[in-house]
Amino acid sequence: MKALGIAYLVGAGPGDPRLITVRGLELLRRADVVVYDRLADPRLLAEAPSNAELIDAGKGPGHKMLRQEQINDLLIGKAREGKTVVRLKGGDPFLFGRGGEEALALATAGVTFEVVPGVTSAFAAPAYAGIPVTHRGVAASVAVVTGSEDPAKEAAAVDWSRLAHAADTLVVLMGLANLRAIASALVQAGRPAGTPVALVRWGTQPSQQVLMGTLATIADQAEAAALTSPVVTIIGDVVNLRETLAWFDRKPLFGKRVLVTRTRQQAGVLSELLTAEGAMPLELPTIELVPAEDLAPLDTALVRLSSYQWVVFTSANAAGLLFQRLAAQGKDARAFGAARVCAIGPGTAATLQQYGILVDFMPGEYVAEKLLEGLASRVKAGDRVLLPRAAGGREVLPHGLHLLGAHVEEIPIYEARTPSLARERARRLFCDGLDIVTFTSSSTVRNLLDLLDGDTGLLNGVLVASIGPVTSATAREAGLRVDVEAAMHTVPGLARALVEHMTAVLPGGRL
């Protein structure tokens, strides 16, 4: 019997991908097919299964990749194939999203469907601009209106003369092209020319712009600012509350384009921290971790793992790879036996804890020199120390342990290479403009400069932030100026250092 499919009309939210609903994200993660619009953030598509079919419906100003009838037929056809179809729509499906038309088509075709409401930009964009659409004593009603029709058009569906006094707050979607005509129609209908107006472009995103004016001035201001869609227009006295309630665009890193140079697998943590502070993280993995060609020495060491007095980890990457090889031997954390474990910092310690290992020692400062100082009182002459780490690492640790009389077995288990496909993207990002570059290791410094063919001039005028003194030293040796160095040499410490620096520049973190 043929499996029955289902179509979900899912609201993707107003722009920030974190504003999708829990239900929407759940469905996206188990979709067979995702049909998406241009206003659905591309980062959401990464949540779909790797084998999901992604189809760009691509409706935007001035062009349509698929007509609405074609989209309807596509949803019906895919569902009839027994597939789980997610129609990912910007904002809310039933608020000027033509979700009603799609639902009717599915219902008429006998296809099972569900509607998952989304956070609409009609309310989210004003909220992120610090404008409540209703407020006690100011506005007790709100109307959401499409602005895609020219008010001068005969038999227009929107009666602006009635709307002028129908609600305290008017929220106009898709109205930028007709802004002058809309403002004029409202004034002619008796709405005061001095009524406050706010235009919010790309609301909820780090690229958000807010333009303030009145019905009499806003069209000229929008033209002078060369404002382009998508824009949400808010009309009413509530707009004046922005002066006090603005919060999103007052975040310390708001709007800053920040280059994240960690590996693809690790970049997400720093990107999330930066996003929380209003930044626009741009990921450029400058490191690609490649396991050593010969892992036989590691496998041999793991067979006798419990015979070491200390196992020292200088990165989370080394910890993760070691446990992968340990699992391949059918073993787990119990294989460590009485061996004590050392981690260079909290990130590495957290990774080890995921595998069931609580570290015996971690230095107060997360650099090799401090790690060695701490081990000096713990490692005895004759102790066997296993040091699995990246090829080409600094000699501070193995040399110092040898001087303590330890028998050090240093095993290069991976290599940090420059990704082969990152060169073009690196140039493009710098040409488009960056405000901040972050470095989380010496390798990220060297590899970024390799991608830029050594052109340090591209970083002129760009704030350089380093995770710690070793990374900073590498950057300075390469001819770079280091503007910010994290006091705590961790990814959260780096994000915190940037926030503190930007906050100190001017109150509120503005440049």
What's the pLDDT tens digit per position in 353-397?
999 999 999 999 888 899 999 999 999 999 999 999 988 888 899
Residue 269: what pLDDT?
Answer: 85
For residue 508, pLDDT over 70 is answered with no
3-state secondary structure 120-145: CHHHHHHHHCCCCCCECCCECCEEEE
CA-to-CA separations, 393 to 75, 102, 295, 403, in angstroms, rounded: 54, 58, 17, 18
Same fold, 123-246 and 290-416: no
Are the C-beta atoms of 392 and 378 separated by less than 8 Å?
no
3-state secondary structure of 363: coil
485, burial (CB in 10 Å: exposed 0-12, middle 13-18, buried 19+): buried
- Taking every pair of C-alpha atoms in the chain, what is the biggest distance, in angstroms? 93
Question: DSSP assignment, residue 284?
Answer: -
Residue among 59, 4, 73, 71 at smallest CA distance from 32: 4
Fold (topology level) of 290-416? Rossmann fold (3.40.50)
List the domain boundaries for the chain. 6-119, 123-246, 257-287+420-509, 290-416
Q: How far is residue 132's CA from residue 358's CA, in Å, rounded to a whole number?
A: 48
CATH of 123-246, one of 3.40.50.2000, 3.40.50.1100, 1.25.60.10, 3.30.950.10: 3.30.950.10
Mean of pLDDT values over 299-308: 95
Residue-averaged pLDDT of the chain = 92
User: Which strands make up the sheet holding 113-116, listed edge to edge?
Assistant: 53-56, 33-36, 84-89, 6-11, 113-116
SS3 472: helix
- When pLDDT is averaged across residues 210-238 and rounded to a whole number, the result is 97
Question: Positive or negative CA dihedral for 495, 501, 506, 511?
Answer: negative
Joined tokens for residue 186 = 């409202």
Residues carrying an active site annotation: 37, 59, 174
Query: Are residues 435 and 408 in contact, defined by beta-carbon separation less than 8 angstroms?
Result: no
Instruction: For 181-203, write each residue's pLDDT tens digit.
Output: 999 999 999 999 999 999 999 99
Query: Is beta strand 142-146 parallel, antiparallel or unpaired with respect to 436-439?
Result: unpaired
Cα of 380 vs its chain's centroid, Å: 46
Strand partners, 342: 312, 361
Partners of 387 in beta bridges: 410
Residue 1 reports pLDDT greater than 60: no
Q: What is the 3-state secondary structure (H, E, C) of 342-353?
A: EECCHHHHHHHH
More confident position, 115 or 441: 115
Q: Single out the residue of 96, 204, 103, 200 nearest to residue 148, CA to CA.
A: 96
Residue type, 205: Q
Residue 266: predicted pLDDT = 66
Q: Which residue has the higher pLDDT, 235 or 511?
A: 235
| Predicted local confidence at residue 155, as pLDDT | 67
Q: How many CB atoms lie within 10 A of CB 163?
A: 20
Q: Does domain 257-287+420-509 have CATH number 3.40.50.2300?
A: no
pLDDT band at 63 (very low <50, low <70, confident <90, very high): very low
DSSP conformational letter for 488: S
- pTM of the shown model: 0.80
Q: Tell me the β-bridge partners of 494.
A: none
DSSP state of 361: B
3-state secondary structure 7-74: EEEEECECCCHHHCCHHHHHHHCCCCEEEECCCCCHHHHCCCCCCCEEEECCEECCEECCCHHHHHHH
**pLDDT band at 100, cuts 50/70/90?**
very high
Q: Is the pLDDT of residue 2 over 70?
A: no
Averaged pLDDT, 43-65: 79
Q: What is the pLDDT of residue 417?
A: 81
Q: Phi, psi at residue 496, to the nearest 5°?
A: -65, -40
User: Which residue is listed with tokens 């790690």?
Assistant: 371
pLDDT for the residue numbered 29 = 97
User: 128-147: per-residue pLDDT in tens?
Assistant: 999 999 999 999 999 999 99
CATH superfamily of 6-119: Tetrapyrrole methylase, N-terminal domain (3.40.1010.10)
